[in-house]
Chains A and B, each alone.
Chain A
Amino acid sequence: MSENMSNEVEPTRRDLGLEAVSSQPVVNDGPAPFATQLLGFWVTFRTMFKKVNTVSYPEVKEPTAPRFHGRHQLNRHPDGLEKCIGCELCAWACPADAIYVEGESNTEEHRMSPGERFGKVYQINYLRCIFCGLCIEACPTRALTMTNEYELADDSRSKLIFEKEDLLAPLRQGMLAPPHAMYPGMDDSNYYKGDVLGFHPSQETSSEVKHD
């Protein structure tokens, strides 16, 4: 009985060809001739005269490829209104579940984007993000794009969850910080068609009134 059991637990030996390999005699004739060694160093020697690919990062930084998938950016319309409508399609597309969005209604008093809806909460968790770019393909308003910025390391997990203000594109020339009204006489479809090229003075007053 006990013999049977000991037989069962013993692993079955399979011929993996190892014995044949180990039985090969090791041939050791001492160092190769100098000429043969020089031939071996030829690749190293030749490379010394080639153009250097590495740079001394972080003192020197090379530009990335133009389509490099770096940190995301939430873009703005030319008058400063946000392009994000809080539709969550990016979050839906994300294979790593790295994006969290909450939408909210725009009102006449508080307008962040053209149309009815804007993204109130927008978070990307860069601990999860795999930079695949499916989110920017899903974005129906081109609000979400990727920059070439790749320096995303940090010293705590919470710092790597980027909030909306970390992701929003900076205000450029001709842009006005929302919330403010839409360009007078224009509606959301004008914005999508690219009819709005900058802010109108009346939007500035609407913005100031809201800030008071």
Chain B
Amino acid sequence: MDMITVIVDGFEITVPKGTLVIRAAEKLGIQIPRFCDHPLLDPVGACRQCLVDIEINGRAFPKPQASCTIPVEPGMIVKTQLTSPVAEKAQKGVMELLLINHPLDCPVCDKGGECPLQNQAMSTGRTESRFEGTKRTFEKPIKISSQVLLDRERCVLCARCTRFSDQIASDPFITLNERGALQQVGIYEKQPFKSYFSGNVVQICPVGALTGASYRFHARPFDLVSTPSACEHCASGCSLRTDVRRGKTLRRLAGDDAEVNEEWNCDKGRWAFKYVTSADRITQPMVRDSSGELRVASWPEALAAAAAGLQDKRSGVLVGGRATVEDAYGYSKFARVTLGTNDIDFRSRITSDEERNFLASTVVHSAPSYRDIDRADHVLLVGFEPEEESPIVFLRINKQVRKRGLKVTTIGTKLSIAAEKLKANFVCVAPGTEAAAVASQELTGKSIILVGERASESAGTLSAVVALAHKSGAQLAWIPRRAGERGALNAGAIGNLLPGGRPVSDAAARVDVAAAWGVDSLPSSIGRSSAEIFAAVNAGALDALVIGGIDPVDADNSHEAISAIKKAFVVSLEIRESAVTKLADVVLPVAAITEKSGTFINWEGRGRSFEAAVVDSLNRSDLRILTMISEKLGRSISLPTVSSAAKEIASLGKWEGAVVAFTPVAPAQTPVLGATDALLTSWRRLLDAGSLQDGEENLAGTSRPTIVVISPKRAESIGVVEGDSVRVSNAHGAIVLPVQIEEGAIHDDAVWMPRNSRGSHILATLAVANGAVVTVVKD
């Protein structure tokens, strides 16, 4: 790398070629005031606050220059406001002009107290205003979406928000309109600012021009206790900052992790936190009494009831994909040590044995990373919608697409907005035929395949992906949707693996873990999957279930799941009332993510530990409660604290022995379709009816419309036009939704609808979600 030496305020510094003057000064600890400059956005020189005096090889620029747009050059001598009276005067002049039209409403402005304009007006501004005219005013505030408010009077026209929308999120909905004194941030009047990343513009706004509706007027920075935290919403693995006042989370901001989320996050991670304080939060243990009613019980009574129900029973464990690594490890150890079974599964969704085999053979020992996306020559997406299912992965791919035209291919059943933004080569397939499309792809050793959790819904897809990765040498990464899935896999919360990726089928691995856990032996047969556990309960092969944080309507066997929960003795560990707690025999309240410490492992296998943001919570972690039950049962898992579990996980380490082999599975036959039959396909949107988004209506306001998508050919055959409603039905039920007809976006055999949006709860209504035959007719 070429290095250049420059002199800033008399100090010499050597920086890489291309470094901006403002950044070189920063390295010396010289702070030049600025508003528009942001290290992750292209330079624009919009605010003019960072003016400095520059001379190159003895030739000085005639006027002060914006240091945020000029890269360093050999022989450059920079004089900032600290040494050059000219630069200082120029900066003061700019500040005075910026403040002319800035309203003096700091007392009501959310940014007050953490405002770069306030701070720099103190450092660079005048004490008294010389302006005697009338300030320019605008109507305030304008709702540019249900969650972002724009106050144009306060805007200093730095263009950070417009550049973010354009360069990072590729949602160019806000722009700068008009010129001169009337210049202002504007939106398309017909289209609201519906971006999944709109919260970032609130965070990077250097004044209070953009504010979030949910936090607006609610607190001041000095009220808040900030805790670095990890996002519990998806497997992207964002670093966050949680701001709490008096035990209540008031806001969350994107943390700064250059390796993962850079400085961004998605709106779900930012604003979906009110579920923790919702009215249906369970605060006390409950036991179902002899009359069949759930009633509040004391902890000793509830634990005794749970232990009595589980004693000497054939039990299974279902832990959702939302648990921290430590909690998942607790469930894993509880199943093996206390219940003596391998019947445990963290996959509360549509799954397959092919997937479980794939996870054990390929995923658990792999460590792909965001950096591999940065370096890839070709990204292949299989059964994965990055913007909807792992938004930071989308931002990272998008960055490379913008920077160097990274080639993206997506194999999917419907073209998505993200695929259009990524200029992806869309390989349109009918649901169930992904495997053939994957097999025909050409990749190189520098490519990366990102395969989503929905690949398990189409038999043979994962086999084709493994074969393609093997043939081409391309890197393979599995990106689940939920934050805890990768961690639960590593913790062995699945029937065919023990912690650390140790195969259950390997006797040496079992001995390894049994020794660490201080037990004689561990169950040796491969455990049941979640669907098999429910089926076993219904068939009378299992008597009891320990369920932590799952929704029975997340899988396509939901009727079977609900009848199993009704039939079995169920101990439910939950934070809020759910379909499971309504049917459970013992309900034990657990701590929500803000109330406990823990670790999430993202799709890369990268762990992010966090401390409790709400320190004075009385709620206990799943781990602590499982330990108490196991003690009552006489076979303790001895994991009283999160740190004890973390230590035990670390001491167990990873499996160094032989890995399970992957057994390919052949694709299924596609069904024969009648005239009005179609193959249903769907995915979950980022903003949908998920229970972790409850209580945040402003966020729900920016979710995408609930529609049915069909091809023009099908529209013609059933006689519908855009704006009509169609009825999608099967033996279980029917959903009527407005239709959207998209040319080239969906296979003629397929019909797409969102999996769990308002008005389209297809797993609850139709009991299927992908690849099944449904009837599509005009309503």
Contact between chains at B217 and A92 (CB < 8 Å): no
Contact between chains at B218 and A87 (CB < 8 Å): no
A92 to B221, CA, bound (A): 10
Contact between chains at A140 and B107 (CB < 8 Å): yes
Q: Is B113 an interface residue (CB 8 A)?
A: yes
Which of B108, B141, B216, B222 is the most central at the interface, judged by chain A CB atoms within 10 Å of its CB?
A: B108
Q: What is the CB-to-nearest-CB distance from B142 to chain A, in angstroms, rounded to a whole number?
A: 13
Which of B112, B217, B219, B222 has a CB less than 8 Å from the CB of A116?
B217
Can you spell out 27 A-B residue pairs with CB atoms less than 8 angstroms apart? A85-B107, A87-B107, A87-B112, A88-B219, A88-B220, A88-B222, A88-B223, A89-B107, A91-B220, A91-B222, A91-B223, A102-B219, A103-B108, A103-B217, A103-B218, A103-B219, A104-B217, A105-B216, A105-B217, A115-B108, A116-B140, A116-B141, A116-B217, A117-B108, A117-B217, A140-B107, A141-B107
Besides the known contacts A91-B223, A104-B218, A117-B217, 17 further A-B residue pairs in the complex with CB atoms under 8 A apart: A85-B108, A87-B107, A87-B112, A88-B219, A88-B220, A88-B222, A88-B223, A89-B107, A91-B220, A91-B222, A102-B219, A103-B108, A105-B216, A115-B108, A116-B108, A140-B107, A141-B107
A103 to B222, CA, bound (A): 14
A116 to B151, CA, bound (A): 12
With a cutoff of 8 Å between Cβ atoms, the chain B residues found around residue A88 in the complex are 219-220, 222-223
With a cutoff of 8 Å between Cβ atoms, the chain B residues found around residue A141 in the complex are 107
A116 to B107, CA, bound (A): 11
Which of A85, A102, A104, A115 is the most central at the interface, judged by chain B CB atoms within 10 Å of its CB?
A: A102
Q: What is the CB-to-nearest-CB distance from A204 to chain B, in angstroms, rounded to a whole number?
A: 27
Within 8 A of B (CB), among A104-119: 104-105, 115-117
With a cutoff of 8 Å between Cβ atoms, the chain A residues found around residue B141 in the complex are 116
With a cutoff of 8 Å between Cβ atoms, the chain A residues found around residue B113 in the complex are 92
Which of B107, B112, B218 is the most central at the interface, judged by chain A CB atoms within 10 Å of its CB?
A: B107
Which of B108, B218, B222 has a CB less than 8 Å from the CB of A92?
B222
Minimum CB distance partner of B141 in chain A: A116
Minimum CB distance partner of A92 in chain B: B222
Q: What is the CB-to-nearest-CB distance from A100 to chain B, in angstroms, rounded to a whole number?
A: 8
1/0 per position for A77-106, CB-CB distance to B under 8 A? Answer: 000000001111101100000000011110
Q: What is the CB-to-nearest-CB distance from A88 to chain B, in angstroms, rounded to a whole number?
A: 5
Within 8 A of A (CB), among B219-244: 219-220, 222-223
Tell me what chain B mostly uses at the interface: helix, strand, loop, or mixed.
loop
Q: Report how many residues on chain B are interfacial, defined by Cβ distance under 8 Å.
A: 13
Contact between chains at A87 and B223 (CB < 8 Å): no
Minimum CB distance partner of B246 in chain A: A100
1/0 per position for B132-161, CB-CB distance to A under 8 A? Answer: 000000001100000000000000000000
With a cutoff of 8 Å between Cβ atoms, the chain A residues found around residue B108 in the complex are 85, 87, 103, 115-117
Minimum CB distance partner of A105 in chain B: B217
With a cutoff of 8 Å between Cβ atoms, the chain B residues found around residue A104 in the complex are 217-218
Contact between chains at A92 and B220 (CB < 8 Å): yes
List the 3 closest pairs (A to B, CB-CB), nearest first.
Answer: A87-B107, A103-B217, A117-B108
With a cutoff of 8 Å between Cβ atoms, the chain A residues found around residue B217 in the complex are 86, 103-105, 116-117
With a cutoff of 8 Å between Cβ atoms, the chain A residues found around residue B112 in the complex are 87
Q: What is the CB-to-nearest-CB distance from A115 to chain B, in angstroms, rounded to a whole number?
A: 6
Q: What is the CB-to-nearest-CB distance from B223 to chain A, in angstroms, rounded to a whole number?
A: 7
Q: What is the CB-to-nearest-CB distance from B79 to chain A, in angstroms, rounded to a whole number?
A: 37
With a cutoff of 8 Å between Cβ atoms, the chain B residues found around residue A103 in the complex are 108, 217-219
Contact between chains at A102 and B107 (CB < 8 Å): no
With a cutoff of 8 Å between Cβ atoms, the chain B residues found around residue A116 in the complex are 108, 140-141, 217
Minimum CB distance partner of A118 in chain B: B217
A86 to B223, CA, bound (A): 13
With a cutoff of 8 Å between Cβ atoms, the chain A residues found around residue B220 in the complex are 88, 91-92
With a cutoff of 8 Å between Cβ atoms, the chain B residues found around residue A117 in the complex are 108, 217
A9 to B141, CA, bound (A): 74
A104 to B215, CA, bound (A): 10
With a cutoff of 8 Å between Cβ atoms, the chain B residues found around residue A89 in the complex are 107
Q: What is the CB-to-nearest-CB distance from A147 to chain B, in angstroms, rounded to a whole number?
A: 23
With a cutoff of 8 Å between Cβ atoms, the chain B residues found around residue A102 in the complex are 218-219
A91 to B220, CA, bound (A): 10
Q: What is the CB-to-nearest-CB distance from B539 to chain A, in angstroms, rounded to a whole number?
A: 55
With a cutoff of 8 Å between Cβ atoms, the chain A residues found around residue B219 in the complex are 88, 102-103
Minimum CB distance partner of B223 in chain A: A88
Q: What is the CB-to-nearest-CB distance from B32 to chain A, in angstroms, rounded to a whole number?
A: 28
A9 to B486, CA, bound (A): 63
Minimum CB distance partner of B220 in chain A: A88
Q: What is the CB-to-nearest-CB distance from A80 to chain B, in angstroms, rounded to a whole number?
A: 20
1/0 per position for A132-164, CB-CB distance to B under 8 A? Answer: 000000001100000000000000000000000
With a cutoff of 8 Å between Cβ atoms, the chain B residues found around residue A115 in the complex are 108
A93 to B42, CA, bound (A): 39
Minimum CB distance partner of A113 in chain B: B108
A105 to B324, CA, bound (A): 37
A80 to B159, CA, bound (A): 42
A140 to B216, CA, bound (A): 19
Minimum CB distance partner of A102 in chain B: B218
With a cutoff of 8 Å between Cβ atoms, the chain A residues found around residue B216 in the complex are 105
With a cutoff of 8 Å between Cβ atoms, the chain B residues found around residue A140 in the complex are 107
Within 8 A of A (CB), among B187-228: 216-220, 222-223
Q: What is the CB-to-nearest-CB distance from B105 to chain A, in angstroms, rounded to a whole number?
A: 8
1/0 per position for B95-136, CB-CB distance to A under 8 A? Answer: 000000000000110001100000000000000000000000
Which of A86, A88, A92, A115 is the most central at the interface, judged by chain B CB atoms within 10 Å of its CB?
A: A88
Q: What is the CB-to-nearest-CB distance from B146 to chain A, in angstroms, rounded to a whole number?
A: 14
With a cutoff of 8 Å between Cβ atoms, the chain A residues found around residue B140 in the complex are 116
Minimum CB distance partner of A103 in chain B: B217
A86 to B112, CA, bound (A): 12
Minimum CB distance partner of A104 in chain B: B217
A102 to B112, CA, bound (A): 14
Q: What is the CB-to-nearest-CB distance from A141 to chain B, in angstroms, rounded to a whole number?
A: 8
Q: What is the CB-to-nearest-CB distance from A94 to chain B, in angstroms, rounded to a whole number?
A: 11
